[in-house]
Structure 1
Amino acid sequence: MNRSPWRCGSTLWRKRRNRERGGKCLPSVIWWSQRSFSAKKRKIADCGEYIEWVNRWEERTIEQTERNLRQQREDLEAQILSPMATLAKNSRGRLVEEPECEIRTAFIRDRDRIIHSKAFRRLKHKTQVFLAPEGDHYRTRLTHTLEVSQIARTIARALSLNEDLTEAAALGHDLGHTPFGHAGEQVLNELTADGFSHCEQSLRIVDRLEKDRRGLNLTFEVRDAILNHAGSGRAETPEGQILKFADRIAYINHDLDDALRAGVLTEDDIPFDVKYTLGRTHSKRINTLIRAVIEESVKTGKIEMTPEIKRVMDDFRSFMFENLYRNSAPKREEGKAKQVVEKLYLHFVADPKSLPEEYLQYIEEDSIERVVCDYIAGMSDRYAISLFEDIFVPKTWR
């Protein structure tokens, strides 16, 4: 019978080792216990007792290893990240204190909670620019979110900042977007006395609306980045400041790509300065803008973009507003979408009892207008259209 060379080698080595110590070859069970735990000088006669004891020891070892994984990750962050970086162990905490995870850092935990949320899944059926496109390659709010995450992580990694914090904030930044994109947001903002902002709604979702009104209980740093990713606000952390650049880099480039695919714009329409300075292709333009953020941030010690490139990017953005976002062709469908949102809002405010039961119970906590906004903002495009048809479009008798 052929014996395993590993087993033979181990046996010969053990015999030689014991002879050198002046002893005889010990039974393997006793030898292993003495070798691994020589300080205890324990002799185990009962093999069953030994196996039970080893199992308990292995369980304690695994438990100790898991307990240290998060600490190892936090120690690694402190060693390899920039002094500018936001360390997970230095987080300002959560709205509600909770035990720390044994495996994941606070920011990794936030990222996972966002990915598993219902609001994140609904992004796949929310408009980016083109309402209900027939092609499979047009962006949705979900694909936009993923592209923002990729750009933000690239910048964060190049600057040795906390990539986990950047990713969590990027994945959660648009959770509060309405159906039909900014058209739906504009309608709700005009109709409600307190106004409506998708940034604030994103924060409201992670703080209150998800998980049956318990919220996701995210860290302060992720919440701050989500709230300040657009407009005049500025996030406190450099990782949050990256998000604002990443969002803009993503949407002006992929919206142009979709406009070219739809035939709303042509290559000849793109300004010469954009082609000459940023690049003639989609990937080159994104690469130029990312490099501009990295290089200027390294130079100044702050999250900034090279002034010349930023000027061209701002001109590029203005071009997109004039020729796409306010273009007559997409605007026609946008007008119909606004009517859907407006009629749904007015209907539910006038007749709150027609709201789903899960929303009715919260009218005492919040105003009816805010509850209706929560309901409509959470809808996907297709659900809003379907609900509109059920309420306002007569059905034929068969």
Structure 2
Amino acid sequence: MTIREQQEQRERETLAVWATYADHSAGRAHPMEPCPYRTCFQRDRDRIIHSKAFRRLGNKTQVFISPEGDHYRARLTHTLEVAQIARTVARALRLNEDLTEAIALGHDLGHTPFGHAGERALAEVCPFGFRHNEQSLRMVDRLEELNLTQEVRDGIVCHTGAQKAATPEGRIIHYADRIAYINHDIDDAVRGGLIKQTDIPQYLRTQLGETHGKRIDTMVTAMIEYGMRHQEIGMDEQVHDNMMELRRFMFDYVYRGTAAQSEEARAKKMLRSLYEYFVEHPDELPGDYFVLMTQGEPLERVVCDYIACMTDRYSITVYKKLFIPKSWNKIEG
């Protein structure tokens, strides 16, 4: 038996009956010779980590645009926190931790620069619409051609929205994503002076916890206990309602109309300007994107691909190059 086959056998012996087994995967769009050392889901995790899209997450806004300070979350740190929470739940429920981690690491690969402000900007101008979960799937399928398993692809595109993932591991990410961003955004908002811990309604602090760590522990514990009782991914109604109420608090006091989003209008205007420019000047797109058009991809979609792949600072650099006059020195004599 190969090392991979030994691992697959251990999965069958140790994982729960409702887990997703690597040797039962629906496979890839383009068949590959199995790796002798890694299961298919471990291989997907590694492909995602080594992708260009994953590296770019370190320079993409999570919530706070151009924050001053070293400790605010970027899209990469959010992704790692989602993966940590999701793996904890998967391990406790004896689900497939490798599959869970792969989905978590890939779920935001298609996110734009400047976070949801950038997503809204592209959604407003692109005739095909723009949703970051769909763009994440397009990233792994079309732009980087990672040829991931069907289970990982399904978990990525279903991590948000009404459609539930087909696997319990994929459904974990839907909850882990919310648990992560609600709590780390509170942490960042307190650090930025936008709110104080005591601004959170008292009943939520009492029921969910007074600190970042206690709130996460409450929500993760609720997921684990629900899964053990029902062999399904979820959360008891009271904790879930409290979590969603905390999310509404964040929308009211942080995400909308605060100093944290004071740059959102400028960021959106900049990305719209980039979109309009490259739609009018497709010949100035980088070669890889121009090739997509020769393969039948609509121009507007390809321009969205290019902009969504940009980091915050690269989009600013391109904008300056295209729209900001350059300084010059008159040569005399």
Cα deviation digits, residues 193-238 of structure 1 (max 9, x gap): 110011011000111101xxxx000000000000000011100000
8 Å contact 2:65–2:261 — kept in the other structure?
A: no
Residue 72 of structure 1 pairs with residue 9 of structure 2: no
State the partner residue of 1:355.
285
Instruction: Choose which of 69, 72, 75 in structure 2 pairs with 1:138.
Output: 72
Partners of 1:391 and 1:271 in 2: how far apart? Answer: 47
* Counterpart position of 1:335: 265
- The answer to whether the aligner puts 1:393 opposite 2:324 as a matched pair is yes
1:327 to partner: Cα distance: 2.9
Which one-letter code corresponds to 1:207 in the other structure? D
Distance 1:75 1:357 in 2: 45
The answer for unaligned runs of 5 or more in structure 1 is 1-66
> 1:158 matched to which residue of 2?
92
| Structure with more contact order per residue of length (Cα contacts < 8 Å, sep ≥ 6) | 2
Q: What are the within-5 Å matches in structure 2 for residues 226-245 of structure 1?
A: 226-245=156-175
3-state SS of 1:98 partner = coil
| Secondary structure class of the residue paired with 1:363 | helix
Deviation, structure 1 residue 278: 0.5
Counterpart residue identity of residue 267, structure 1? Q
Of 169, 191, 198 in structure 2, the residue corresponding to residue 261 of structure 1 is 191
Structure 2 Cα separation of the partners of residues 245 and 166 of structure 1: 12
3-state DSSP class of the match of 2:262? Answer: helix
2:217 pairs with 278, 287, 295, which one? Answer: 287
1:272 aligns with 2:202: yes
Separation in 1 of the partners of 2:102 and 2:287?
31
The equivalences for 1:37-186 within 5 A come to: 68-186=2-120
Match of 1:377 in 2: 308
Structure 1 length-normalised TM: 0.81
Q: Distance in 2 between matches of 1:332 and 1:313?
A: 26
TM-superposition CA deviations, 1:61-105 (whole Å, max 9, x none) = xxxxxx610000000000000001000000000010111001100
For 2:123 and 2:282, the matched residues in 1 are separated by 19
Q: Is the 8 A contact 2:64 2:260 kept in 1?
A: yes
More off after superposition, 101-110 vs 348-357: 348-357
Q: What is the alpha-carbon distance in structure 2 between the residues aligned to residue 380 and residue 263 of structure 1?
A: 26
Q: Is the 8 A contact 2:91 2:97 kept in 1?
A: yes
* CA distance in structure 1 between the aligned counterparts of 2:197 and 2:32, rounded to whole angstroms: 53
CA-CA distance at 1:331 after TM superposition? 2.5
2:135 is matched with which residue: 201, 213, 219?
A: 201
Give the Cα separation in 1 of the matches to 2:26 and 2:274.
40
Amino acid at match of 2:140: V
Give the superposition deviation at 1:131.
0.9
Matched, 1:346 2:273: no
Please report how far the alpha carbon of residue 130 of structure 1 lies from its aligned counterpart in structure 2 after TM superposition. 0.7
Q: Which runs of 4+ in 1 moved over 4 A?
A: none
Amino acid at match of 1:397: W
- Aligned partners of 2:267 and 2:92: how far apart in 1? 41
How far apart, CA to CA, are the structure 1 residues paired with 2:43 and 2:222?
31
**2:242 matched to 1:312?**
yes
Instruction: Report the Cα distance in structure 1 between the residues aligned to 2:157 and 2:182, rounded to whole angstroms.
Output: 21
Q: Which has the larger radius of gyration?
A: 1
The CA distance in 2 between the partners of 1:235 and 1:335, in whole Å, is 34
Task: Give me the TM-score of the superposition, normalised by structure 2.
Answer: 0.97
Q: CA deviation at 1:313?
A: 0.3
Q: CA–CA distance in 2 between the matches of 1:132 and 1:80?
A: 46
Q: Which residue, 297, 301, 307 being the options, matches 2:231? A: 301
Take 2:288 and 2:87, find their aligned partners in 1: how far apart are those partners?
37
- How many residue pairs get aligned? The number is 328
Unaligned residue ranges in structure 2 (runs of 5+): none
SS in 2 for 1:361: helix
The equivalent residue for 1:32 is none
Aligned 8 A contact 2:64 2:261 in 1: no
